[in-house]
Structure 1
Amino acid sequence: MPRSDRLFDLLQLLQDGALLRAEDLAARMGVSTRTIYRDMDRLTAAGVPVKGSRGAGYTMEDALTLPPLTLTAKELEALNLGLAIVAQAADAELQVAADALANKVDAVLTAQGMAAAEAWKAALNPFADPTRNLTHLSLLRPAIRARQKVALTYTAEDGTVSRRTVRPLHLEYRGRVWALTSWCEGRERFELFRLDLIETAEALPELFVDEPGKRLKDYAP
């Protein structure tokens, strides 16, 4: 049984509020007790309200369960950006709730084969300055539509600061970090920029046209 299916089945078993021993869950799932311990750690890390400990058993606190939702890429991007803003609120309880919800979203994305998003969380937390993401998104989207070149000041993960002129091609989120796929004019190659590492972005008056080798469809990560 795939892990994602097993985690879902565990949630169904825990929802009745009964205290369940890891040994009994392991027998139901056909796995080892150690696997159940790891599964419970994953559920807890994802923000699922599982209570208990190894040897004592596990149960789940009352929580609102939403039906399965199908979100578009833009809807999920809006959700992530909203969570980033709430995480900066003065209300500490809301900050904790926003981070827990973001972890649940991340857990679902990982279960759907988006584990690569984890690689984007290592350097700067995108929640550190949600205003920067908002500013860049509102500038870059129109630039992509208008095929307008953009000047970026970018701080790489190693701290190196550079100034780039790019052709913005595509925006997407990876986990909780937004990324810009572009063609860098100076380095003459495709570049992927994390929005949370962009210091400044300025739309230039110069436009660009599609050229073979410089188009989004030519990009191969």
Structure 2
Amino acid sequence: MRRADRLFQIVQYLRGGRLVTAARLAERLEVSERTIYRDIADLQSTGVPIDGEAGIGYIMRSGFDLPPLMFTRDEIVALVTGARMVKAWGGTSMMAAAEEALIKIEAVLPETERGRVGDTKIFSPSIGLAGQARELIDRCEQAIDAREIVALEYSDEDGSTTNRTVQPLGLWFWGKVWTLVGWCELRDNFRAFRLDRIAKLAPTGDRYKPAANRSLEEFSRQQREKYQKHLDNLNQEGK
């Protein structure tokens, strides 16, 4: 969790005029009590009316509130549509986070704008995305975040099965199809693996170090270059 998000959550937990201990906040936010003490001190220094002390607990005086977020109509539509798409096509954790995000967006909007959340008539039905596929998305995302090398049992387009050791770099969504972009140690090159063809995925326990020539940015650059060459060839053939 980013520090800015953690400070926001502390303010949220202290609302309601109830005494909350640093230990309780640390447990909820999965950080140390020392971190909570520092965060509380920083919030107090910026004018947030928090009373209390270490070992006793903290309480926020009434009357303090965060200013409402001001979004344009188009921004609200974009946020709601994006959250609905993640709910429909994301992993299990992303689906839950998207639902929570929609609740928070509506909660912090001014009263006059809250109706726009429900009035957004753009939807993304999740046809064919089973729970097992959602869990695989989560596992891939966790491996990417931890830079953890994974072992795949993968079926190629012709149905043959191979075992790959992959440095996971990113997830790409193509509309119904997710691919895991990574550095394949067998091929010693970038590869994109369709998640619906991954029979097994297991962490190896090893982690890889970031390298510019094996980064997601480099993969994206190469893809753009290939696409541009394809367009150039089409233009030449059309002359």
Q: TM-score range by the shorter chain?
A: 0.3 to 0.5
Q: 1 or 2, which has the higher helix percentage? A: 2
Indicate the structure whose relative CO is greater, using CA pairs within 8 Å and at least 6 residues apart. Answer: 1
TM-score calculated relative to the size of structure 2: 0.43
Structure with max Cα Rg: 2
